[in-house]
């Protein structure tokens, strides 16, 4: 049996120029999507619709929803969530005055209720920025936070991959219809997210890439999330739009500082000047979000309400001889990277990677002049 409410909503959402706010106003005044579609243009304009939108609505029929209905029926992993109707529609997003009336989802829509942090940044980050995004995402996902981002290349992709590597929750918000992947190079990543997490978009089937879609996508990324972390961003980066939208939505904003000589750090520095929380470790985020207790999200009986976000005691699932060797070689005084490489008998790449993870866990502190010092407990 055809769901006439859903079909009418899908058809109506395809009307050019009908945004989320006008949608909500028309449904509030006319009572249902079917009534909106049946209304005369004059009645629609009296309720706030511009003339061209009123004419477009009048020309729309339920048959316009056919592409979306075919997509929905093609795969049991495909879903359409109606704001105010479907329980799986995310409550945090529904709080926004411009929340999308419909969400197209591929994957597990139940994950949209999971407490998450948005991680965003440059599409062309430095190697260090990409590694930071992946490692922060992996560490936060291990502690039970979902990782939300926009499927773009660069920081977004690294954040999604970090969450997947941790076996955690990740949500990708797309700037295209649900049947398109942009950029194409992230198609494999998108398939992995659909299998382990969920892809969502407010845009109907068949809608391709347009510049104007990405600010719309960004408000969903921040609106889904408890807060937004910006890893690297230039002053012109679209990730700053996400951050300022998060501030407007009353959500926390975090930024990782960088070198004053790195143009990819200037956006983060501006955010910090404007009130974003300066982040040096995962603990800074967990403390600000007041997420310190309970059990790991990876546990079989874990739910969004019983998440352990307390830092683990070691850099891996159990004691790791290489980390023990590195910490022993470090001693308790500041030491240079080259000295650590020599003392520990490990490669420079291995030591750098291990130091980064130890920094994220608050066990090691980076000091001026390329030196490091222990700050955490004795055991690994």
* Integer Cα distance of 371 and 337 in angstroms: 6
Q: What is the 3-state secondary structure (H, E, C) of 28-65?
A: HHHCCHHHHHHCCHHHHHHCCCCHHHHHHHHCCCHHHH
What are 123-144's pLDDT values in tens digits?
999 888 999 999 999 999 999 9
What are 29-42's pLDDT values in tens digits?
999 999 999 999 99
pTM (2 d.p.): 0.77
What are 176-203's pLDDT values in tens digits?
999 999 999 999 999 999 999 999 999 9
* Integer Cα distance of 348 and 215 in angstroms: 40
Tokens coding 73 = 């029926």
Residues 6+ apart with CB under 8 A from 256: 132, 136, 229, 230, 231, 232, 268, 278, 279, 280
Compute the 3-state secondary structure of the chain and give helix, strand, coil in percent, each to the nearest 5: 45, 15, 40
**So what's the pLDDT on residue 62?**
94
Tell me the pLDDT band of 110, cut-offs 50, 70 and 90.
Answer: very high
């Amino acid at each position: 049996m055809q769901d006439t409410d859903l079909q009418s909503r899908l058809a109506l959402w395809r009307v050019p120029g009908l945004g989320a706010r006008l949608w909500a106003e028309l449904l509030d005044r006319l009572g249902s999507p079917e009534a909106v579609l049946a209304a005369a243009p004059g009645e629609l304009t009296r309720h706030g619709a511009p003339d061209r939108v009123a004419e477009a609505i009048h020309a729309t029929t339920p048959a316009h929803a056919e592409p979306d209905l075919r997509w929905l029926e093609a795969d049991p992993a495909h879903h359409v969530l109606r704001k105010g109707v479907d329980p799986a529609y995310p409550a945090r997003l529904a709080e926004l005055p411009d929340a999308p009336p419909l969400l197209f989802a591929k994957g597990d829509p139940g994950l949209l209720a999971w407490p998450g942090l948005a991680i965003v940044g440059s599409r062309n980050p430095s190697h260090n920025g990409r590694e930071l995004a992946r490692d922060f995402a992996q560490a936060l996902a291990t502690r039970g936070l979902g990782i939300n981002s926009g499927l773009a290349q660069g920081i977004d992709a690294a954040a999604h991959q970090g969450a997947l590597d941790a076996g955690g929750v990740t949500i990708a918000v797309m700037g295209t219809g649900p049947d398109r992947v942009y950029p194409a190079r992230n198609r494999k990543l998108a398939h992995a997210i659909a299998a382990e997490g969920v892809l969502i978009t407010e845009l109907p089937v068949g809608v391709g890439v347009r510049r104007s879609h990405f600010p719309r996508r960004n408000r969903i990324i921040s609106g889904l999330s408890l807060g937004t972390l910006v890893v690297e961003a230039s002053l012109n980066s679209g990730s700053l739009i996400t951050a300022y939208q998060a501030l407007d939505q009353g959500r926390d904003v975090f930024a990782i500082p960088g070198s004053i000589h790195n143009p990819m750090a200037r956006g983060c520095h501006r955010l910090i000047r404007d009130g974003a929380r300066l982040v040096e470790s995962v603990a800074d985020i967990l403390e600000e979000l007041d997420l310190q207790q309970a059990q790991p999200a990876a546990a079989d009986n874990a739910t969004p309400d019983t998440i352990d976000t307390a830092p683990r005691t070691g850099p891996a699932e159990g004691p790791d001889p290489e980390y023990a060797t590195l910490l022993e070689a470090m001693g308790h005084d500041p030491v240079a990277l080259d000295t650590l490489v020599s003392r520990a008998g490990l490669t420079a790449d291995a030591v750098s990677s291990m130091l980064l993870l130890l920094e994220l866990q608050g066990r090691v502190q980076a000091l001026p002049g390329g030196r490091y010092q222990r700050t955490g407990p004795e055991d690994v």
